[in-house]
Amino acid sequence: MLTAGQLLRLFYIQRVLIRYRLDEIIFATHLFRPIRYLFFLFPWNWFRKDKGNRAERFRRALEDLGPLFVKFGQILSTRRDLLSEDISNELARLQDNVPPFPGSEARRIVEQAYDKKLDDVFLEFDENPLASASVAQVHAAKLKNGKDIIVKVIRPGIEKNIRRDIGLLRFLAEKAEQYYPQGKSLRLTGVVREFEKTLLAELDLMREAANASQLRRNFEGEEKYYVPEVEWDLTRRNVLVMERVSGISVNDISGLREAGIDLKWLAEYGVEVFFTQVFRDSFFHADMHPGNMFVGKAEDGKSARVLVVDFGIMSSLTEFDQRYLAENFLAFLNRDYQRVARLHVESGWVPIGTRVDEFEFAIRTVCEPLFDRPLKEISFGDLLLRLFQTARSFNMEILPQLMLLQKTIVNIEGVGRQLYPELDLWQAARPQLERWMSERMGLRGLVRGTKDNLPHWLDRLPELPNKVIDLIDRLRDGKIQIENKSDDIKNLRHEMKSYNRKTVLAVIGSGALLSAAIIYGLDDGSTAAIIAGAPVVSWLAGSVGFLMLMLSIRD
């Protein structure tokens, strides 16, 4: 059930949908199609103004609905396996530019978090925010020791608004899946759950601080890549304090050239760093748009370095996911589509019963056109997306971390080719892919796996003799029973029981019929009792026999 606040919000959403002519989409659904004529009776549909194509109208409606719907649209834009290309491209244009809340309110929140006056903590605190987004805003400040920092503050009352709108989105997604023909295939409720999880995680700035700290540790000693340091003593769940870094935005091409930055190096290094995060560390920055990447000038004999900020959206891959990506990318590079298909089936990404040849043909059909151009012009992100879309048609469940990876690859490609149009992303990524394969496969992989697991094996080794003796004792005493829960085995057991029952019934029925015949044949009139009883007994026996035979045939 929706609350009163959610109902009022729902009416507001309806007004926005009408304003951007999106109510026609609702009336086109299976539920409202029988009464679609009512759509033309509403006065607001008589004099409609052109507000652009459907994708543009959808984007503008989300912007009017507020920052949380903008954030939802941004996340939805990453699910290109679900949406049409025009809507995905339009949603990618959504900008998280939100009016700031008062600096005095930010000061109050920070003082409440520290339970002391702001002047007792910071030397300076600028109430005018540096940036403002849907979940938080950032202020410049300075520690007592003179160190420049940023203070990120969660918006007041944001969690209540998030939970209200999440409830509405969940309600709308459920209705869409129930009444829209393609609703279930879009898995909108799953997208909403993913959105809820991501957004609520962004409310915990301790989590973001931990992400930044982990990424900084992974690249400790790397001079060309820098992650700002977290001030843990001053970080709370709703307040994050971090070293302030400054540099040239990767969007400022002219500024980068004036600073003497080698754009070819910058583009290739960005790709190298990203794939290092994916395959070496299995922990990558999943929000790498230009607003989160800067370049520091080369100073004091040091090379230029990439500076990154905003660590609210990070993701990781299991070794299984890494192997899936590495082997598939290398198979694609070799145009070995059968290998790609077999990898999906063998790994369980698609159902075991999937025909490899059909899957191979489907992959070749959508991917071969991509290779009708120089390799450096092929989009890594587009290739991955086409693979996901094809696999989904074979009932593959696309995991959220893989979609975040695809979105980030698209961003990295876009930035890299903006810096250096001749960027060959495949050439830049291939060393990391092959290095990971060589470390995980073959003799090196065996040695590495043995080395990693040896302490665990040694720890369990003393228990092994007792476990073997216990197993032998239980086998000897008949205490171990093997249970097979396979549906095929259950069906076979049912058929065997049915067959045995039929056999028993047939035997009894045949015996009864035979008995009836014998009794009737013995009726020679020698004994009055037999003469009197034989017809009755033979009739009863024959009837029972016939009934038994009929039951066995019916079963």
How far is the C-alpha of 436 from the C-alpha of 445, rounded, in Å? 10
Long-range contacts of 370-373 (CB under 8 A, 24+ apart): 371/335
Partners of 307 in beta bridges: 226, 294
- Reply yes or no on whether the pLDDT at 374 is more than 80: no
Partners of 521 in beta bridges: none
- Reply yes or no on whether the pLDDT at 553 is more than 50: no
**Two tokens, residue 358:** 């059909």
Strands 122-125 and 248-249: what pairing?
unpaired
**Two tokens, residue 87:** 């809507």
Q: What is the pLDDT of residues 32-73, one digit of tens each?
A: 455 454 545 555 555 555 556 778 888 888 888 877 777 777
154 SS3 class: strand
Of 362, 360, 402, 353, residue with least CA distance to 381: 402
Helix (H) or strand (E) holding 282: none
Q: Which position among 165, 287, 310, 424 bears the catalytic label?
A: 287
Position with higher pLDDT, 271 vs 27: 271
Mean pLDDT, range 381-400, rounded to an integer: 74
Mean pLDDT, range 496-521, rounded to an integer: 53
Q: What is the pLDDT of residues 411-422, one digit of tens each?
A: 888 888 888 888
Identify each DSSP E strand in 245-303 by its residue range.
248-249, 284-285, 293-296
Measured N-to-C along each axis, helices 4-19 and 54-65 cross at an angle, to the nearest 10 degrees, of 140
How far is the C-alpha of 202 from the C-alpha of 157, rounded, in Å? 14
Which sign, positive or negative, has the C-alpha torsion 411, 415, 421, 423? negative
Residue 1's alpha-carbon distances to 169, 228, 379, in angstroms, are: 13, 45, 45
- Which pLDDT score, from 0 to 100, does residue 57 have? 84
Q: Are 162 and 203 in contact (CB under 8 A)?
A: yes
Of 227, 254, 248, residue with least CA distance to 418: 254
Does the annotation count 287 as an active-site position?
yes
In percent, the amount of the chain with pLDDT more than 90 equals 20
- The one-letter code for the residue type at 160 is K
How far is the C-alpha of 110 from the C-alpha of 487, rounded, in Å? 60
Helix (H) or strand (E) holding 448: helix 442-460
Residue position matching structure tokens 């070799």: 334
Residue 315 main-chain phi, psi, to 5 deg: -145, 165
Q: What is the pLDDT of residues 311-368, one digit of tens each?
A: 988 888 888 888 877 887 778 777 888 888 888 777 666 777 788 888 888 888 877 8
- Which pLDDT score, from 0 to 100, does residue 538 have? 47
- Which pLDDT score, from 0 to 100, does residue 442 have? 55
Partners of 241 in beta bridges: 151
How far is the C-alpha of 440 from the C-alpha of 352, rounded, in Å? 25
Of 271, 265, 214, 200, residue with least CA distance to 425: 271
- Reply yes or no on whether the pLDDT at 26 is more than 50: yes
- Which pLDDT score, from 0 to 100, does residue 450 have? 64
For residue 271, is it left (φ>0), alpha (ψ between -120 and 50) or beta? alpha
How far is the C-alpha of 489 from the C-alpha of 438, rounded, in Å? 42
The residues spanned by each domain of the chain are: 4-97+160-200, 253-440, 490-554
Q: Are 263 and 304 in contact (CB under 8 A)?
A: no
- Using alpha carbons only, how large is the chain's radius of gyration in Å? 35
Q: What is the pLDDT of residues 463-473, one digit of tens each?
A: 777 777 777 77
- Which pLDDT score, from 0 to 100, does residue 536 have? 46
152 CB contacts (<8 Å, ≥6 apart)?
Answer: 136, 137, 138, 139, 205, 208, 239, 240, 241, 242
379 SS3 class: coil
**Two tokens, residue 5:** 């606040």
- Which pLDDT score, from 0 to 100, does residue 35 have? 47
How far is the C-alpha of 41 from the C-alpha of 418, rounded, in Å? 50
Partners of 150 in beta bridges: 140, 242
- Which pLDDT score, from 0 to 100, does residue 24 have? 58
Across the chain, what does the average pLDDT equal?
76
Of 381, 436, 377, residue with least CA distance to 408: 381
pLDDT category of residue 224 using cuts at 50, 70 and 90 = very high
DSSP class of 230: B
- Reply yes or no on whether the pLDDT at 225 is more than 90: yes
Q: Are 65 and 9 in contact (CB under 8 A)?
A: no
**Two tokens, residue 107:** 């000061």
Measured N-to-C along each axis, helices 380-393 and 319-333 cross at an angle, to the nearest 10 degrees, of 110
- The one-letter code for the residue type at 514 is L
Letter string b/e over residues 346-385, b meaning 16 or more CB atoms within 10 A of that residue's CB = eeebbeeebeeeebbebbbeebeeeeeeeeeebbbbbbbb
**How many CA atoms, within 13 angstroms, populate the side-chain half-sphere of residue 51?**
18
